[in-house]
Chain A
Amino acid sequence: MAAPKSSTRGHPGRALVFITVVIAALYGIMFATGDTTPRLGIDLAGGTSVTLKAKPDAGGSKSAVNAENMNTAVQIIRDRVNAFGVSEAEVQTQGSEHIVINIPKGKGEAEAAKQVGQTAKLYFRPVLQTEYQPDTPPTTPATTPPASTPPASNPPQGQGAATTPPSASPPATTPAATGTGAAKATATATASAKATGTATAKPQSRVIPDLKQDTPSPTPPAANTPGAPATTPPPIDMTQPVTPPSSNGAGADLTKYGVTPELQAQFTALNCADPAQRGVGNQTDPTKPTVACSAKPQNGTYEKYILGPAAIDGTDLSSSNAQLPTGPGQIGGWEVALKFDGTGTDKFTKITGDLAEGQYPTNRFAVELDGVVVVAPTVSTELPGGQAVITGDFSQKEAKNLANVLKYGALPLSFEMSEVSKVSAALGSDQLRGGLIAGAIGLFLVALYSIMYYRGLGVVSLVSLAISGLLTYAIMCLLGRGIGFALNLPAVCGAIAAIGITADSFIVYFERIRDEVREGKSLQPAVARAWPRARRTILVSDFVSFLAAAVLYWVSVGKVKGFAFTLGLTTLLDVVVVFLFTKPLMVILARKKFFASGHPWSGLDPARLGAKRPLAYRATRRPRANVEPKEA
C-alpha cells in the first residue's frame, strides 16, 4: 500500500506532476473510449434484478452445487434471457451459490425476468391419474386462447367438441373407452402426417367439465359445469375423460408405480386453485411418484396429476424448437419439436412405447418443470428416433415460450429466488439524484467545517478531496468497461461515507503538523517531521479500513458488494492522494510566506496554536522523552 517515498522526498513537485499526469491520462482514456459516466446499476437506471440461490437436490447432496454446474447454469440462464432480445443483460455468479441476473430496462425485460424465475429442473414423467379443478371464481378465462384455429391434426375432434355442449356429452361420462379410441385416432393421424414419423402430443387445452376434486366418478358432469365452457375454445381432443373413472380403472395399477395411499390422499386433498398449494418451485424427487398441478389454468380449469417416477431427465433433451407444421397438408397452429440425445432417445422410445399401450390418462407424459406440469401431451404410439412434436393450438408466442422452457429448463441445478426487484427508471433517477444531493450537502458541510477549523489547511484538505473525487470518478467510469463495475445505490452511499474517511487522513496529518508547530518548530521542519508519524497512522488505519471493505466484499452478495467495492477503492485512493498530493503540496506550501509566517488564516498561526515560542525560535528544550518523534 505504501506509495513510493522517494518521489515525495525532496522533490515534491515531481509527485504533483506525476499525479496530474495520471489524472490527465485517466480522463484521456475516459473521453477516448466514451465512458464519461459510470455504468449505472439496475437500482439507479431502472430494470429488474434477480438473485437466485442454488439449492441442493431434494434427495441429492450439496456437492452438486459446484463451480462447473454454476457456470453451466449461468450460461443457460444467459441464453434464456438473451432469447428475449434483452440487451446487455448481466448474468453472473456471486460467491459459490448465487447467481445474480440484472436485466436492464427495456425490451423483453418483463418476460425475461419471468423466464429467469422459472429456472428449474425438467422431468418427463408418465401421467398416472389426473383430475380437473376449476380455478377460483373471478379468474375465468382471461387466458383463454382465441378459438380461431382448430388444431390441424384432428379436425373431426374439433368439430365434435365444438358441437358438443361441454360436459353434457355422453363421451365425457364414458371416459375409458372413448378416451382410448380418440387418442389412438389422433396418434395415427399425426404420425402419418409427420414426415419425421414423430408423434403427437396434445396440450391440455380441452373442454373440461368442472369437477370438484372429491366428486365421485358417477356424478353427472353437467350438474357442476357452470357456464364457463360456453366460451371455451374448440377442444382439440375428444378424449375428454374426466378422471375419476380412469382412476377406478387404474387404481390397481398405480401401486405398482409406487403410489402410496398417502400420495393418493395428498392427491385428493390437493387444490390447484390455491396458489400456495400449486407448488411452483417445489422440488420433487425424480425417482418417486409425485403429485403436481398444471402450471396455468386452461379455460379456467387446473388439472392435477399423479405422476410416475421421471422417465427422462431434462438434460437428455438436446433441442427444442418452435415451428410451424412442416408436413404436407398441415395447417394450423405452432408446434414444438423435440430432439433427444442418445440416452434420451432410448428412454423416450421406451416410455412412449409403454405409454402408447396405456389408456387415458396413462397414455400421457407430463413435462414437469419446477414442480408444475407445463404440458402433458398424449402419446399414441411408440416414438423411436429421438424426435417428437408437441402439437396443439399454440400461438407463436406460446410455442416459443414452451420451446425455451424445454430447452433452457434443463439446468444442472435447481434454484430458488432469493430476491427480485423491479425498479422503474423514475425511481432509479430519484435515488441517484438523492444520492448526489446528499453527497453535495455532505461535501459542503465537511468543507465548511474544515475551513472554519483549519482555515488555510482546510483549503488544502478540500483540494485533496477534490483530487480524490476526480480519481474515484474516473476509475468508476473506466471500471464499468473494465470489470463490469456498475454504480448502484449502496456504492453511492459508500462513496459519500468515504468523504469523511478520506478527510480524516488529512486531519491526522494536519494535527501532526500543528503539534510540531506547538513544539515551537518553524513550518518547514514541522511539515517534514510530522510526516513520518502521520504516515504511519494513516497507513495503519487505512489498512484496517481496507481490510473491513475487503472482507465485506468477499462475503457479501448483491448490492452490498457495490458498497464494499467503493469503500475499498476510496480507501486505496486516499492513500494515493495523501502520499502523492497532500503531502507534497504541504511541503511546497510550507515554503510560502502565507503559511510559513503563520498567517492567521493559514490555520498554522503559532499564537493561535499556542506554540511555546515564536516560530523563528528553534526549540532548545529537549522534547519529552516519550513523545520523541521518530522516523518510522
Chain B
Amino acid sequence: MAGLSSLRTIGHRLYTGEVEYDFVGRKKKWYALSALILILAVGGLLGRGLSQGIEFKGGAVYTVNQGGISVAQAHEAIEEFRGEHEPIIQKVGKEQVRIQIASKDTGKFNEIRDALSAKLGVPADKVDAELVGPSWGKEISNKALQGLLIFMVLVTIYLAVAFEWRMAIAALVALVHDIVITIGVYALVGFEVTPGTVIGLLTILGYSLYDTVVVFDTVKETTRGITKQNKMTFSEAANRGLNQTLVRSINTSVVALLPVASLLFVGGGLLGAGMLKDIALSLFVGLAAGAFSSIFIATPLYADLKERTPEMRALAKRVEQHRAAQAKAAARGEAGDAAEASDAPADGDADDQDGDDGEPAGAGSAGSGGIRRQPARNRRAGRPSGKRKH
C-alpha cells in the first residue's frame, strides 16, 4: 500500500475492486458535509447577499487606458458627473483606471467620456466605456433562470428516457447542489456577479451533468443484472461502478479545470477585471463543485432511491442471508474463506444499507462483520484497504 508502485497501479486496483473507497456506504458523511456547505452557502447568500456588478444595478464604467493617472485625478475628473452615489475608482494593473458611476443617463454616455478624456489629457480613443441600463441585469437574470428551467426539464426528460427517472432526479439534485454552492461562494467571498458569472454558471449546468452522466453510465453497467445474483447489494454494485470510473472522474476534472485555471490566472492576474476573469471564476468554482457532487452526491443518492424499490430490498435481504450463510461456513473452516475470496468483491456495506432501509437485518450483518474482519476494517479505516485476492 505504500510507495510509488501503489500509486501507479491504483487505477487497476480501483478497477478490480481490490482498492475500493466506500462512497455509497459513507454517504451520510458526504451528505452531512454537503449539507454543511449548502447551509454556509445559503447563509452567505441570505446574510451577505451577492455583490452585483453594474450590469445588474445599471450604471456606467469608464476605463482609462493610460499610465500615470492617479485615483485622485480620476476622482476629480468624474466629480461633476457622479450622480447620487460615490463613484468607485480602482487602479487596475499599472496602466488602467476604472471609474464606475451609477449614472444611467444614456444621453450623457459620450459626453462623460469626452469630458474624461479632456480632463485627464488622454486621447478619447483610450477611454473605454460601458453603460448598462437598469433593467439589463434583471433581463439577463431572467433569461438565465429561464434557460436553467428549460435545460432542467429537457435534461430530466432525457436522462429519464436514456437511463431512468431515479438517475434523472439524482443528477438534478447534484446540479442544484453545484449551483447553490457556486452562488454561495460568490456571496461569501464577495466576488462581483456580472453577466460573465451568469455565463459561467450556465455552463456548469452542462459540465456538472456531463460528469454525472459518465459516472451513471458506468454505474448502469455494474448494476446490470444485479437481481440475478445474491452477492452484492445494489449500493455495493453502484459503489463499484463509481470506483471503477474514479480515475477517469479525477482525470477529466483535472483536465477541465486546468484550462479554466489558466483563464482565471490570465484574466484575473494579467488583465485585471474583465469578462475573462468573471467567466473563469464561476466556471472554476462550479466545476470543482460538479466534480465533488458527481461522486459524493449523485451516485449515493441514486443508490438510495434505488434501494427503496421492492426488488432491491429483496436483493439486500438475499445478500444478507447469503452472507450469513457464508459467515457460518467460514466459521466452520478454511473452505469458506476461499469461497468468499473468489466471489465477493466489495462487501461490508450491508449494515449501512440495512440501517437506511430500516430492514431488521442488523444483527446478521453485525455478525458477518465481526467474523469477516476485512470489510469491517475497511469501514472504520476511512482509507482504501486491500483485499487478498491476487
Q: Are A449 and B258 in contact (CB under 8 A)?
A: yes
Closest Cβ of chain A to B76, distance in Å, is 14
Q: Are A445 and B262 in contact (CB under 8 A)?
A: yes
Q: Are A545 and B207 in contact (CB under 8 A)?
A: yes
Chain B contacts for A446, CB-based, 8 A: 255, 258-259
Q: Roughly how many angstroms separate A156 CA and B150 CA in the complex, as a whole number?
A: 71
Closest Cβ of chain A to B346, distance in Å, is 11
Chain A contacts for B203, CB-based, 8 A: 494, 497, 548, 552, 563, 567
Q: Are A501 and B207 in contact (CB under 8 A)?
A: yes
Q: Are A420 and B109 in contact (CB under 8 A)?
A: yes
- Interface-located stretch among A12-20, A145-153, A206-214, A605-613: A605-613
Q: Roughly how many angstroms separate A177 CA and B351 CA in the complex, as a whole number?
A: 104
Please tell me if A601 contacts chain B, counting CB pairs below 8 Å. no
Q: Of all chain A residues, which has the CB nearest B252?
A: A504
Q: Are A545 and B206 in contact (CB under 8 A)?
A: yes
- In B201-252, which residues have CB < 8 Å from any A CB? 202-203, 205-207, 209-211, 213-214, 217-218, 221-226, 228-229, 232, 237, 240, 244-245, 247-248, 251-252
Evaluate whether A419 and B107 lie within 8 angstroms (CB atoms) in the complex, with A441-B265, A545-B210, A563-B203 already known. Answer: no
- Interface-located stretch among A388-396, A404-412, A426-434: A426-434
Q: Are B107 and A508 in contact (CB under 8 A)?
A: no
Please tell me if A291 contacts chain B, counting CB pairs below 8 Å. no
Please tell me if B13 contacts chain A, counting CB pairs below 8 Å. yes
Q: Roughly how many angstroms separate A435 CA and B134 CA in the complex, as a whole number?
A: 29
Q: Are B244 and A515 in contact (CB under 8 A)?
A: yes
Closest Cβ of chain A to B56, distance in Å, is 12
Q: Roughly how many angstroms separate A441 CA and B260 CA in the complex, as a whole number?
A: 10
Q: Are A424 and B196 in contact (CB under 8 A)?
A: no
Q: Are A438 and B65 in contact (CB under 8 A)?
A: no
- In A417-460, which residues have CB < 8 Å from any B CB? 417-427, 430-431, 434-435, 437-439, 441-443, 445-446, 449-450, 453
Query: Of A420, A556, A609, which is within 8 A of B147 by CB?
Result: A556
Q: Are A445 and B221 in contact (CB under 8 A)?
A: no
Closest Cβ of chain B to A331, distance in Å, is 34
Contact-size category for A: 35 or more
Evaluate whether A625 and B228 lie within 8 angstroms (CB atoms) in the complex, with A438-B266, A511-B247 already known. Answer: yes
Evaluate whether A110 and B150 lie within 8 angstroms (CB atoms) in the complex, with A418-B133, A490-B199, A548-B209 already known. Answer: no
- In A117-132, which residues have CB < 8 Å from any B CB? 117
Q: Roughly how many angstroms separate A78 CA and B107 CA in the complex, as a whole number?
A: 20
Please tell me if B106 contacts chain A, counting CB pairs below 8 Å. yes
Q: Roughly how many angstroms separate A420 CA and B61 CA in the complex, as a whole number?
A: 10
Evaluate whether A438 and B267 lie within 8 angstroms (CB atoms) in the complex, with A275-B107, A426-B65, A556-B143 already known. Answer: yes
Q: Roughly how many angstroms separate A424 CA and B117 CA in the complex, as a whole number?
A: 13
Please tell me if B383 contacts chain A, counting CB pairs below 8 Å. no
Chain B contacts for A449, CB-based, 8 A: 251, 254-255, 258
Evaluate whether A608 and B224 lie within 8 angstroms (CB atoms) in the complex, with A420-B109, A493-B280, A541-B210 already known. Answer: no
Q: Roughly how many angstroms separate A437 CA and B259 CA in the complex, as a whole number?
A: 11
Q: Of all chain A residues, which has the CB nearest B244?
A: A515
Please tell me if B154 contacts chain A, counting CB pairs below 8 Å. yes
Q: Are B225 and A625 in contact (CB under 8 A)?
A: yes
Q: Roughly how many angstroms separate A110 CA and B114 CA in the complex, as a whole number?
A: 11
Closest Cβ of chain A to B108, distance in Å, is 6
Interface string of B354-390 (1 = CB under 8 A from A): 0000000000000000000000000000000000001
Query: Of A138, A442, A490, A536, which is within 8 A of B217 by CB?
Result: A536
Closest Cβ of chain B to A297, distance in Å, is 13
Max count, chain B CB within 10 A of own CB: residue among A437, A544, A554: A544
Q: Roughly how many angstroms separate A498 CA and B347 CA in the complex, as a whole number?
A: 39
Q: Roughly how many angstroms separate A173 CA and B199 CA in the complex, as a whole number?
A: 63
Q: Roughly how many angstroms separate A418 CA and B271 CA in the complex, as a whole number?
A: 26
Closest Cβ of chain A to B255, distance in Å, is 5
Evaluate whether A611 and B155 lie within 8 angstroms (CB atoms) in the complex, with A453-B251, A493-B279 already known. Answer: no
Closest Cβ of chain A to B250, distance in Å, is 10
Please tell me if A486 contacts chain B, counting CB pairs below 8 Å. no
Evaluate whether A560 and B266 lie within 8 angstroms (CB atoms) in the complex, with A421-B131, A504-B210, A544-B158 already known. Answer: no
Q: Are B248 and A508 in contact (CB under 8 A)?
A: yes
Closest Cβ of chain A to B209, distance in Å, is 5
Please tell me if A587 contacts chain B, counting CB pairs below 8 Å. no
Please tell me if B309 contacts chain A, counting CB pairs below 8 Å. no
Q: Are B256 and A442 in contact (CB under 8 A)?
A: no
Max count, chain A CB within 10 A of own CB: residue among B127, B154, B267: B267
Closest Cβ of chain B to A294, distance in Å, is 13
Q: Are B390 and A567 in contact (CB under 8 A)?
A: no
Ordered by A's residue number, 20 sampled pairs between the chains whose C-beta atoms are within 8 Å are A114-B110, A418-B139, A420-B109, A422-B113, A424-B126, A425-B125, A427-B128, A438-B266, A439-B259, A449-B258, A504-B210, A504-B255, A511-B11, A511-B245, A537-B213, A547-B155, A548-B203, A608-B8, A609-B11, A626-B229
12 new A-B pairs (CB below 8 Å) besides A435-B263, A507-B248, A515-B244? A499-B259, A501-B210, A504-B210, A504-B252, A541-B213, A544-B210, A554-B147, A554-B150, A559-B195, A560-B195, A626-B240, A627-B222
Q: A-B pairs with the 10 shortest C-beta distances?
A: A548-B206, A442-B259, A610-B12, A500-B256, A441-B262, A438-B266, A421-B130, A610-B9, A442-B262, A555-B147
Could you list which residues of chain A lie within 8 angstroms of chain B, going by C-beta atoms?
Answer: 43, 51, 53, 110, 113-114, 117, 138, 275-276, 278, 280-281, 416-427, 430-431, 434-435, 437-439, 441-443, 445-446, 449-450, 453, 489-490, 492-494, 496-497, 499-501, 503-504, 507-508, 511, 514-515, 518, 533, 536-537, 540-549, 551-552, 554-560, 563-564, 567, 608-612, 624-628
Could you list which residues of chain B lie within 8 angstroms of chain A, going by C-beta atoms?
Answer: 8-9, 11-13, 15-16, 55, 63, 65, 80, 105-110, 113, 125-133, 135-136, 139-140, 143-144, 146-147, 150-151, 154-155, 158, 162, 195-196, 198-199, 202-203, 205-207, 209-211, 213-214, 217-218, 221-226, 228-229, 232, 237, 240, 244-245, 247-248, 251-252, 254-263, 265-267, 270-271, 274-276, 279-280, 283, 345, 390
